[in-house]
Amino acid sequence: MEHEYDVAIVGAGFTGLTAALDLTRAGKKVLVLEADSVPGGLASTFDFRDGVRIEKFYHHWFNNDVYVPELVRDLGLEGEIVTMPSKTGMYFNGRHWRLSTPLDLLRFSPLSFWERIRLGLLVFQVRRVKDWKSIEHLSIREWLEPLCGKNVFRIVWQPLIENKFSVVADAVNAVWMWKKLVLRGSTRDSKGGEQLAYFRGGFGRLAEEMVKQIRAGGGEVRYGAHAQEVVSANGRLQALRTGEGLVRARQFLFTPSFSIIADILQKDAPADYLARLRRVRYLGNACLVLELDRSLSDTYWLNVNDPGFPFVGVIEHTNFDSPQNYGGKHIVFLSRYLAKEDPVWTYSDEQYLDFALQHLQRMFPQMQRSWIQEYRIWRAEFAQPVTERNYSSYVPGQETPYANGWISSMAQIYPEDRGTNYAIREGRAMAQKLLKLLS
């Protein structure tokens, strides 16, 4: 079948859905093609067998984020926002340390008193950087170690960076860390604590509400719809080929990873442009979601700084959003970033659970396998763009070789890191650009 739309959008993550919502409200005929069976991208949700719904990959937003709460209010759902203090900590040298407030930091005895002071003052040193391009040529270690000292870097930052970026940890530029520290430093309340926000029922529920309003406005969202290749003529895209036939449109917006976009364009686009898209490297993510009958600890976000622990941290979601909202169950995320070449990527679900439990039980010796009521493992091949040195000089922009083809992807949010808040911002900006082109 052949259809005619004002805009065809590939991807029903928050960038694609936000753009589609704004375009539909402006009276444009929009189609969103999503390869998955649910909307939301990396923020999509799933149901355990008992009906408990939760994200496939953990999510929250910060109290200084603007675009998520703005969207929620715009949808008339501001009553569904819950804001709660964050309980954070660190597992180091076989012990759990609370790190939610400045006082907790002063009690962190693995660092000397002067090192604790240096760590506490780091956020003020970081804020002195006004031009992020001035540090883009440095790795995180090259920039951060002189600021906080070698021992602070070794104990506090190095394990987190290596767990986050795996085999490419030394390739990531300093801007990624700079932005994280600036943003986190500005989320503290007057007592030094941190407030986080969440959408009741999960971000997938928010995405589903967006789909509902897009459809109510005359737009279309199709699931299980794979964009296979493009059809072009005279420097313009004519159509997208899908399993159901051709989709014709006046403008086209691509929101997946650069690698997926390159696959869609590979039979048509110039070789040098495809090479630019594939130049950006990604890490995958394997996320184990546990449904437990009891809690592991009272900490929401437990960073793990012991060598050899293969996960970013232990995120016990129900120490943030109450277990009462999950049928009294306790939800824990164990997230591992890795390259596809890592043997762990090919583990079966049962192998992955065994792999994870041997480390989790080292941290929580009392934990028994019988505590697990159910578990799921979710894998995302392109979960984290790798922002290497001088990333801004080679990351592709929104323009493509086609006058009516555009890209808005999480790898372009830089210098911010990927996140739902910025995906919404970029979706809104892209909708405004397309509306001008369609007028």
List the structure tokens of 201.
Answer: 């029922």
pLDDT attached to residue 190: 56
Sign of CA dihedral 329, 287, 69, 64: positive
Gap between the Cα atoms of 299 and 348, Å rounded: 29
Residue 5 · residue 248 · CB < 8 Å: yes
| Nearest of 145, 159, 138 to residue 388 by alpha carbon | 138
**Which 8-state DSSP code applies to residue 139?**
B
- List Cβ neighbours of 315 (8 Å cut-off, separation of 6 or more): 58, 300, 301, 302, 332, 333, 334, 335
Gap between the Cα atoms of 108 and 359, Å rounded: 23
Gap between the Cα atoms of 121 and 144, Å rounded: 13
Q: How many CA atoms lie within 13 A of 148 on its CB side?
A: 26
Specify the length of the chain in residues. 439
Residue 54 · residue 201 · CB < 8 Å: no
Confidence of residue 150 (pLDDT cuts 50, 70, 90): very high
**Tokens 């005929």 -> residue:** 29
pLDDT attached to residue 1: 44
Q: Does domain 77-85+195-199+282-385 have CATH number 3.90.660.20?
A: yes
Q: How many CA atoms lie within 13 A of 294 on its CB side?
A: 9
pTM for the structure as a whole: 0.94
Q: Exposed, middle or buried: residue 231 (CB in 10 Å: 0-12, 13-18, 19+)?
A: middle
In this structure, the number of other CB atoms found within 10 A of the CB of residue 374 comes to 13
Q: What does the pLDDT average to over 89-94?
A: 90
pLDDT higher than 70, residue 233? yes
Residue 359 · residue 311 · CB < 8 Å: yes
Domains 3-59+202-280+387-438 and 77-85+195-199+282-385 share a fold: no
pLDDT higher than 80, residue 143? yes
If you write DSSP's letter for every residue of 220-289 in order, what string do you get? Answer: EEEES--EEEEEEETTEEEEEEETTEEEEEEEEEE-S-HHHHHHHHTTTS-HHHHHHHHHS-EEEEEEEE
Sign of CA dihedral 117, 118, 119, 121: positive
Q: Return the bridge partners of 34, or none.
A: 223
Q: Write the pLDDT tens digit of every residue in 239-281.
A: 999 998 999 999 999 999 999 999 999 999 999 999 999 999 9
Angle subtended at Cα 66 by Cα 63 and Cα 69, rounded to the nearest 5 degrees:
80
Q: Exposed, middle or buried: residue 251 (CB in 10 Å: 0-12, 13-18, 19+)?
A: buried
Q: Exposed, middle or buried: residue 265 (CB in 10 Å: 0-12, 13-18, 19+)?
A: buried
Burial 128-165 (b: 16+ CB within 10 A, else e): ebeebeebbebbbbebbbebbbeebbebbbbbbbebbb
Q: Write the pLDDT tens digit of every residue in 161-208.
A: 998 998 999 999 999 999 989 887 655 555 556 788 999 999 999 999
Helix/strand/coil for 78: helix
The structural domains of the chain, with segments of one domain joined by +, span 3-59+202-280+387-438, 77-85+195-199+282-385, 102-160+173-184
- List Cβ neighbours of 385 (8 Å cut-off, separation of 6 or more): 257, 280, 281, 282, 410, 411, 414, 418
- List Cβ neighbours of 246 (8 Å cut-off, separation of 6 or more): 1, 2, 3, 231, 239, 240
Mean pLDDT lowest for which of 87-96, 287-296, 359-368? 87-96
pLDDT attached to residue 175: 97
Gap between the Cα atoms of 28 and 134, Å rounded: 42
Q: What is the CATH number of domain 3-59+202-280+387-438?
A: 3.50.50.60
Helix 271-279, helix 258-265: angle, nearest 10: 160
Q: Write the pLDDT tens digit of every residue in 383-435.
A: 999 999 999 999 999 999 999 999 999 999 999 988 999 999 999 999 999 99
Confidence of residue 100 (pLDDT cuts 50, 70, 90): confident
